[in-house]
Chains A and B, each alone.
Chain A
Amino acid sequence: MEDFILRALAASLGVSVIAGSLGCFVIWKRLSYFSDSISHSALLGVALGLVTGLGINFGLVIVGALFATLIVVLQQKGFWSNDAILGIFSHVALSVGIVVLGFVGDRNIDYFAYLFGDILSINSQDIFWIFSVMVAVVVILVMNWKSLLLLTLNEELARAEGINKVTYELLFMFLIALAVSVSVQIVGVLLITSLLIIPPAIARVYSGSPLSMIFSSVVVSVISVLLGLFSSIQFDIATGPAIVITLGIFFFIAQLIPNKS
């Protein structure tokens, strides 16, 4: 097998673990539009990474975390509904990203690769980054599992038991920013949210506990990303859309399974 395909396989595995597990919390917390807004800021992150020389991945995490904090600050004002704030951020972030990237990138910059993913261009440095993020996400989730879950289940009870809401919200947003940073190359800025929410949405149908939902979600994600990857090579179609279509097909098939309560 060619090296670039092996790297693509490794990347698929790592990103599936990250997005599949964090995605469950995105679904539980009803944050799919939130993660969409953050992922739309990713082009700006790419630009920042190129300008500062810090590298694309660091640019993505910094911009993602910054935008997440900004969104939360605006939400606290209570003037606008959440969907209005997220809608504004989502599109402004994308537009600014495209313009800034146009200024700082070289002339032949491949927008299509950033918008819809380019899994076959992944290098070994990217793989190292993806697996570092994977280990970080898994360790953070395991260590804070009870607090995160109780806070998601019922905020008041969690706070009465001494769980600090703000700390965990910030932690979670940081994790989302990390997830976005590793997903850009796989499915692209425009389709990241589908990698976060479709696998857990499928897993929800036949899961009886939070933990089993996370495991199923990761498994569904691995299978879909691999199938999408192979069909994209086979039929010469863009990888991101191929993966999302595979996920979409699985989602509809899952509706045919008799669901658990």
Chain B
Amino acid sequence: MSDALITADNISLHHNGKNILDDVSLKLHPGEFITLIGPNGAGKSSLIKVLLGIIKQDSGQVNHSNNVRLGYTPQSFTANPFIPISVVDFLTLNQKADKDFTDQISELTGIKDLLNSPLKNLSGGELQKVLLARALLNKPNVLILDEPAQNLDVDGQMQLYKLIQEIHQKQKCAVLMVSHDLHRVMKESTQVLCLYHHICCEGPPGSILKDEQFSNLFADQIHELMATYEHHHNHHHEH
């Protein structure tokens, strides 16, 4: 396999005497789609922030290869409501994108009609799409998404995941996504990482379902998931 875009080696992070991350390592290769799952408070967002350099780990190393261009959407983004700023001004703030490319990305993410509205008037779903568009304007080869479907209704979630999948395939962009939605995770990821302060288990979606630690963490969701996943799998083979 080609060289990793992002490599994290033995990352540990403590806060107020608690272990947030304990000896976590991961590699993100070109073309990969890694989904990071884990219960609330497992350290998922902290890991993302360490990878991005927003917070500093206590030990371990993070390396970005020279050609990495990052796109990032934070968890539960709120724009400062006191600043009057339109969507398009927000998109292009601190970005080098020209108008044509901005139009192209707005088209792709379906936010063309929103460009001139004030940023603070957007709904949760619209805001997620705008954040995704802003991340894409940097022409990333690594997209890091922290629970992008949070606060969306089922329809909105489906649309957003579809869009992310499309971007992953068309733009040849490696994706690292934090998600709660096990069904989706199984469908799109090439690799699943299950985090609970340390990495409990990792592997391709099919194999991780059979992992005992994984089953223990997600016991209640897993029964239902097995049913739908197996069904989907069979369905696929019939064609």
Contact = CB atoms under 8 A, between A and B. Distances in A.
Interface of A: 27-28, 30, 146-147, 149-150, 152-154, 156-163, 204, 207-210, 212-213, 260-261
Contact of A210 (B74, B77, B85): B85
A204 B79 CA distance: 16
A27 B54 contact: no
A204 B86 CA distance: 14
A80 to B, nearest CB: 18
10 contacts: A152-B80, A153-B80, A154-B78, A157-B74, A158-B94, A159-B54, A160-B54, A209-B85, A209-B89, A210-B89
A217 B92 CA distance: 24
Contacts of A154: 74, 77-80
B16 to A, nearest CB: 11
A147 B94 CA distance: 7
Given A146-B94, A160-B54, A261-B121, A30 B72 contact: no
Contact of A204 (B84, B120, B121): B84
A27 B80 CA distance: 11
Interface of B: 52-54, 70, 72, 74, 77-80, 82-86, 89-90, 93-94, 118, 120-121
Given A146-B94, A160-B52, A160-B54, A153 B74 contact: no
A209 B54 contact: no
B72 A210 contact: no
A28 B89 contact: no
Nearest to B85: A210
Given A30-B82, A157-B74, A204-B84, A150 B89 contact: no
A212 B238 CA distance: 61
Given A149-B93, A156-B74, A261 B82 contact: no
A213 B94 CA distance: 19
A261 B77 contact: no
B94 A161 contact: yes
A161 B79 CA distance: 16
Contacts of B121: 261
Nearest to A152: B80
Contacts of A149: 83, 93
Given A157-B72, A261-B118, 10 more contacts: A30-B82, A146-B93, A152-B80, A153-B93, A154-B80, A156-B77, A157-B74, A160-B74, A212-B84, A261-B84
B77 A157 contact: yes
Given A146-B93, A160-B70, A208 B86 contact: yes
Which A-B residue pairs are the 9 nearest by beta carbons? A156-B74, A146-B94, A159-B54, A160-B72, A261-B118, A160-B52, A207-B84, A28-B83, A28-B82
A261 B86 CA distance: 11
Contacts of A27: 82
B203 to A, nearest CB: 28
A207 B79 CA distance: 17
Contacts of B90: 153
Residue from B70, B74, B120, B121 with most neighbouring chain A CB atoms (10 Å): B74
A201 to B, nearest CB: 10
Contacts of B84: 204, 207-210, 212-213, 260-261
B132 to A, nearest CB: 13
Contacts of A260: 84
Contacts of A152: 80, 83
